[in-house]
Structure 1
């Protein structure tokens, strides 16, 4: 701002000098006009003085514009300085606030928010644990590898099973035990541990290899054992 003020002062001095010079040239032009009319000086001399007076007048206008521009620059610098001073004051206030530390009420409020967040997190963790336990209860696992032989399981969709209720029956297909009736006169062809070949009515073209594990006097009507899958 001080530099701009000095520029304004210099421009003002130049303007004052230009005004004085223009005033002098204007008076000289009037005087030479009278001399020209009286035949004392030539027209050329009169025209030169007239052009000089006009040049000095234009110089005054240029200097006035220069002074106005520099004054405007001073005002702009003054406004910018005021803005920067306000910024400095605001930052100083912020610095003092930081140095003074948080208010006790703010600290207590932050602590309460932290405790509330911890309590919410604990509840959500407990809910997640409960949901996982419930999800595990929705899974029915077979205790063996085999096939489900219970029909129409799709009709049980949406039904509720109490603990201990039978959901489906599964057969262990790793070892299938069967009873075959053999005529008494052919019984001598079978020995314990002997390998035999069977054909089922359902698979007439597919032979099955089996092993004799027992020979009874008469075959029963019971089929192979089965295993039930129950709700855990």
Structure 2
């Protein structure tokens, strides 16, 4: 994808520069955990990170550039976790175990499923490049869900399989967002149980197919 407005201004080469980039990204995600993306400014990011605004602009020309880098990393981490989850199964196991593995691998770590990540998702409509990135990610996720269906021998028409993959993706996203934003520990525990049950339903290919 050719970026027009949100590409990094400079790729860090030295360790000191790389550390500064990581600090900017870490600080921005922390701020996203605290509030909406539209309330964050590059000046506030630089101030919180204790660096000059000029230093920030050496690497990121605008706020959306930081969001793009964070989102790109989050999406790749998500795909990597899905691949790891899928690799655990041969297709002979219980489907509940598959849906639990998908939910657990994506929900159990704040490094990939925090309030800040979902604030970041809400900011994805802010530029054309961010919208394109989200669309490309969805295609990659759909491919993996379709591969799960095929691995478990679920023979349904391609059109229905793709529609089911879309539904499974959006239900999974909703469950992950709910789990990330649950409050107290007992609320989080209950939410994760509810989410697992919802995802077990949506990953039960045979039962869903029989209803069509």
TM-score (norm 1): 0.21
Which is greater in Rg?
1
Higher relative contact order (CA 8 A, sep 6+): 2
Higher share in helix: 2
Higher strand fraction: Structure 1 or Structure 2?
Answer: 1
TM-score calculated relative to the size of structure 2: 0.22
